Structure 1
């Protein structure tokens, strides 16, 4: 029996993968495809993270799909609602039956003579190896490791008599009633956890080494509510979506061009929501400029509220060591704790750990350069999705999916079967992700790189990407289209 072959193999059934499959079905209904998902459910990040209060800090009119109107009341939604939206979208577009759950891609080998990938997949439920072939491989895996988050080792943690929990592996049965909880971290996860835990625990302390910029926003978009009452669902969705795109772009551009102004606005916004005398300078004034790291949104100001009413405390200090009953700080203070939550970040993982090989040669990912932020120099018939870091992930995912569909149509129209980005122009190589966050600094060296100018530079700007990715020319000197069986040439050959 021959190996099963599909035209397009999508890796990952999260936000990017479901969207990619929907775009493919809508624009190429005759093409065969499959999704392989290592876990046993749809949702990716939104199925993996089950810690209390998990939610989006991107609005759902832009984090949701352009073709699937967001109809839930809250614009900043909780994880369960987002997961339900993904499942419903997959069902409505007949994608769910194409998903192979508990299928983990281990490696993929490209053969230029046959113009196809041979993909080795491990069945997580049976431990057997399955081999699939495809004409185009589309990685929608995100860029962090699902199996475990980043957990540094703290001096003395083995003598701590309480429990240490990482949010990425939150125990479903963990009962914090009457417990003293210390959350180590200052990013989006910690900002989400503290208000949620304060509803249950006896005492919650957020311990941050350094502050993060926080912006309080209403979880409901009142203008969106009004627009949805006046316009049909799809038109209302597009109207609010564009309003939010423009506002987010303006926010980012202002932050980069006038960081002092934005820093002051955010600081004053925090001060207004906190009691008089609260040390805003110490606890809410980061050492970096806005958007050097991702800005954290606080829906309905809930973190400020629990800090104001005393249900939670914010401490800015560093861990000296764990003790039997808590954490000793560099200042000498000891924080008593029954449970310590290490909201200390993610561990980056390129392409979900897939090993690529092209015509027998291993692909060294850090040596490749991303074309249009989605293809890799020297790697044929391959695309990946890496969303925006300063806006909703799905805005870029939608553009990438549309671009892939255009590429497939171009291959059909020209009678070619292979598309390969060539070597990028000489010059500096920079990290693919430009943030200075700890999780980025720790792992960005494992990712592909980017160049300094288009089409080898990953723009963090939807408005700048929209026209070239949706309507721009597909043929340029940086890309080669070939027929199957054509002599293999080095990527540097034009």
Structure 2
């Protein structure tokens, strides 16, 4: 055995580093190690290098609850977020805990020894075998090796360059070139103004259907004023509370009064476009928050469109040509570069082959207890953030819950915990909710499922989750605890179901 680990955190992105900091703060008696397949921390914020890469959540809520984001920028660049995560690593001396260039290949829970046997490959391509008591998956929900890239007819005839934002070529030269970006989500609406600003000749966003897009200020002027008259901590807490309330309020109103929210969103876009662009390109055929709402800072996307440096085409691709993209409407889009901003390839636990006593785990056949613990799997937690609020809000409250659980196990000398699932509770919807976005629909055969009732039902309501998880006890009969040399607390054997 190469290494014996108490808690194995898989991933050194915003989830993994957040969990590690919380464990250090709240479980001083627990030892942990962090596995990171890349050669740097940051996860998403290290992988994506495309122009303009930024958060699409405000930084007062995207930052950790224990480390205020003390800048007035509402959104932040990828480099700034990676730097912020790096500050946490330095402050909590986590670098020595991170094993860069190490990839977990498989993990099998061995019931005879009540531990995970983890197979890894290190940066020298040598195999290692680790033993771990508890695993926390912090790998997000997409495949880092490849994005979702649909095949289009005759795309091999195209003489230009095809690029996916997930693997942006270093020093890609798009100066004065015609660029077509396929997609209309957060990546596409970020790329369009960023490439315009940095020298592209003309950028066209090609979309099958429109997306709801809201313009927000790039600088939080209210926070800027508050921090001049109030203590920094107070100003930050007030700003964070306000933004959490606004996020939740907009989502709740959109669910109750979709027509009103639709009208307000479309009116705001119309004012931004100033009659220079047809509103058909920004009028979705679904209700707000049936798909995630996209945001742009200071209306930069609309500015690029108004000035004629960018355009939008709402159509479907018939086929590629040597010089661009032929649309089914008959229009041809000339292109030197085509960017596939077509989304993510969904993957859970970083593609790790997980099993219990040699029996493979199919994550789509499981639920998440309190949105954290994988049903019927011993000593395993998984971090999946919110679809309608900042990802990190879930990281913080999930970490607090995990720490309380670990402390409870220490106090009672428990080695194993299993959240016993009930197949009658399982729904077809995944933990990502009922959003109609393509990447959500592609997740059906991978993502854990929703349950009908608490604690298996995922509400995507941060305020409710924060309250419920804070008061959640561990005397729930759903949770079965085991000591090393004894039967479960309930005196009945644990039945492990995959």
TM-score where L is the length of structure 1: 0.97
Deviations 1:101-158 (A, max 9, x none): 01111111112332221111111x2111111111111110100000110011111111
SS state of the match for residue 445, structure 1?
A: coil
The equivalences for 1:52-451 within 5 A come to 52-123=51-122, 125-199=123-197, 200-276=199-275, 278-280=277-279, 282-424=280-422, 426-429=424-427, 430-434=429-433, 435-451=435-451
Does the 8 A contact of 1:211 with 1:316 survive in 2? yes
CA offset at residue 3 of structure 1? 3.4
The equivalences for 1:451-470 within 5 A come to 451-470=451-470
Q: Counterparts of 2:237 and 2:104 in 1: how far apart (Å)?
A: 36
Does the 8 A contact of 1:112 with 1:486 survive in 2? no
SS state of the match for residue 273, structure 1?
A: helix
Does the 8 A contact of 2:356 with 2:377 survive in 1? yes
Q: Counterparts of 1:372 and 1:309 in 2: how far apart (Å)?
A: 49
CA offset at residue 490 of structure 1? 4.4
Q: Counterparts of 2:57 and 2:495 in 1: how far apart (Å)?
A: 38
CA offset at residue 28 of structure 1? 1.5
SS state of the match for residue 68, structure 2?
A: coil
CA offset at residue 353 of structure 1? 0.7
Cα RMSD after superposing both structures: 1.4
CA offset at residue 416 of structure 1? 1.2
Gaps of 5+ in 1: none
Does the 8 A contact of 2:417 with 2:480 survive in 1? yes
Q: Counterparts of 1:278 and 1:162 in 2: how far apart (Å)?
A: 28
SS state of the match for residue 328, structure 1?
A: strand
CA offset at residue 330 of structure 1? 0.6
SS state of the match for residue 314, structure 1?
A: strand
Q: Counterparts of 1:290 and 1:428 in 2: how far apart (Å)?
A: 27
Q: Counterparts of 2:341 and 2:307 in 1: how far apart (Å)?
A: 23
Give the match for residue 32 of structure 2: 33
Q: Counterparts of 1:184 and 1:425 in 2: how far apart (Å)?
A: 40
Q: Counterparts of 2:320 and 2:194 in 1: how far apart (Å)?
A: 24
Does the 8 A contact of 1:113 with 1:485 survive in 2? no
Distance 1:425 1:159, change over 3 A: closer
* Structure 2 residue 482 is matched with structure 1 residue 482: yes
Q: Counterparts of 1:110 and 1:38 in 2: how far apart (Å)?
A: 21
Gaps of 5+ in 2: none
Runs of 4+ that moved beyond 6 A: none
SS state of the match for residue 148, structure 1?
A: strand
Give the match for residue 471 of structure 2: 471
Number of equivalences: 490
* Structure 2 residue 42 is matched with structure 1 residue 51: no
SS state of the match for residue 273, structure 2?
A: coil
Does the 8 A contact of 2:367 with 2:426 survive in 1? no
CA offset at residue 433 of structure 1? 1.1
Q: Counterparts of 2:496 and 2:43 in 1: how far apart (Å)?
A: 36
SS state of the match for residue 347, structure 1?
A: strand
Q: Counterparts of 1:275 and 1:250 in 2: how far apart (Å)?
A: 28
Does the 8 A contact of 2:51 with 2:191 survive in 1? yes
Does the 8 A contact of 2:480 with 2:494 survive in 1? no
TM-score where L is the length of structure 2: 0.96
Does the 8 A contact of 2:212 with 2:288 survive in 1? yes
